[in-house]
């Protein structure tokens, strides 16, 4: 229901925005930032990485059985990160330690060491990580390629509890793929828009989580929504 309401609102914003086009300042890209899908014998995992200082990065991952936060480092093409996860059922937790090499085609190959508590079981498996192919573009370029630049933002101040915070993201993620929203996007002369996602808690407290991304159909819309869900941990 919430996704439908937000979808209707987005339809109005997009329809108006396609008439009143505007451009925002370009945000510099970061290193391994973005969405990744990790495949191994343990099952697929989706991760979102964000560089924050020097060669360090943080993020979050969601898997079939649990979710949690990530901390990692980059040394040349060598990438290491630790995923501290908790099972959805709450009855187990653990850590996965990834070590791999970043390839030129936005892929990481290596091995992952796993440790599950309270069972104290460990092991090591090969893995391959692929960066999502969703196209990211700077605002200046996007203004020439699309009919609208649309900023999606969520309030993460102390007045918003966790359930309401998740509702905001899930509502956006569901709404952007709504057929009525896709129809509005396709109605413009460029048949595409660019979206970014920001969280804020005050005038000087704003954080860009997803840079400008091209949305030109249902597939790109679903990918953008999936990336929003990645950051909802």
Question: Where among 131, 150, 175 does a domain terminate?
Answer: 131
On whether both 38 and 24 belong to a single domain, the answer is no
pLDDT grade, residue 99 (50/70/90)? very high
Regarding predicted confidence, which is higher, 141 or 69?
A: 69
Question: Where among 131, 153, 170 does a domain terminate?
Answer: 131
On whether both 38 and 121 belong to a single domain, the answer is yes
Question: Where among 97, 131, 165 does a domain terminate?
Answer: 131
d(CA 144, CA 190): 9
On whether both 125 and 40 belong to a single domain, the answer is yes
Domain count, the chain: 2
On whether both 43 and 9 belong to a single domain, the answer is no
On whether both 153 and 98 belong to a single domain, the answer is no
210, 163 Cβ separation under 8 angstroms: no
pLDDT grade, residue 180 (50/70/90)? very high
DSSP string, 105-162: TSEEEEEEEEEEETTTEEEEEEEEEEE----B--HHHHHHHSS-EEEEEEE-STTS-H
Predicted pLDDT of residue 6: 62
Predicted pLDDT of residue 231: 60
On whether both 103 and 39 belong to a single domain, the answer is yes
Regarding predicted confidence, which is higher, 113 or 12?
A: 113
Strand partners for 125: 112
The count of other CB atoms within 10 Å of the CB of residue 152 is: 23
211, 122 Cβ separation under 8 angstroms: no
> Taking all residues of the chain, what is their mean pLDDT, rounded to a whole number?
76
Q: Is it true that the peptide bond before 118 is cis, omega within 30 degrees of 0?
A: yes
Helix, strand, coil share (%) of the chain residues, nearest 5: 25, 45, 30
On whether both 65 and 124 belong to a single domain, the answer is yes
On whether both 105 and 155 belong to a single domain, the answer is no
On whether both 20 and 84 belong to a single domain, the answer is no
On whether both 218 and 140 belong to a single domain, the answer is yes
Q: What does residue 28 show for φ and ψ, rounded to 5 degrees?
A: -65, 140
d(CA 110, CA 126): 6
| Res. 179: pLDDT tops 60 | yes
Average pLDDT over residues 31-50: 77
d(CA 68, CA 93): 10
The DSSP 8-state label assigned to residue 177 in this structure reads T
On whether both 67 and 127 belong to a single domain, the answer is yes
| Res. 120: pLDDT tops 70 | no
Domain range for residue 66? 34-131
On whether both 8 and 49 belong to a single domain, the answer is no
CATH number of the CATH domain containing 119 = 2.40.128.30
The count of other CB atoms within 10 Å of the CB of residue 87 is: 15
52, 69 Cβ separation under 8 angstroms: no
């Amino acid at each position: 229901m919430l996704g439908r309401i937000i979808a209707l609102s987005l339809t109005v914003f997009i329809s108006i925005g396609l008439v009143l086009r505007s451009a925002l300042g370009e945000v510099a890209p970061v290193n391994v930032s973005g969405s990744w899908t990790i495949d191994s014998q343990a099952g697929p995992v989706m991760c979102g990485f964000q560089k924050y200082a020097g060669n360090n990065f943080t993020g979050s991952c969601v898997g079939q059985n649990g979710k949690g936060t990530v901390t990692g480092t980059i040394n040349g093409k060598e990438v290491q990160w630790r995923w501290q996860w908790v099972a959805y059922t709450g009855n187990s937790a653990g850590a996965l330690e990834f070590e791999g090499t970043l390839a030129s085609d936005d892929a990481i190959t290596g091995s992952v060491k796993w440790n599950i508590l309270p069972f104290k079981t460990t092991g090591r498996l090969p893995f391959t990580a692929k960066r999502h192919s969703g196209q990211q573009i700077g605002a200046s370029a996007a203004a020439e390629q699309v009919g609208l630049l649309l900023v999606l933002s969520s309030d993460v101040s102390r007045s918003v509890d966790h359930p309401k915070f998740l509702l905001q993201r899930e509502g956006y993620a569901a709404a952007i793929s709504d057929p009525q929203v896709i129809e509005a996007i396709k109605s413009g002369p460029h048949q595409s828009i660019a979206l970014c996602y920001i969280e804020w808690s005050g005038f000087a407290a704003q954080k860009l989580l997803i840079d400008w991304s091209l949305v030109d159909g249902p597939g790109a819309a679903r990918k953008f929504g999936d990336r929003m869900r990645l950051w909802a941990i």
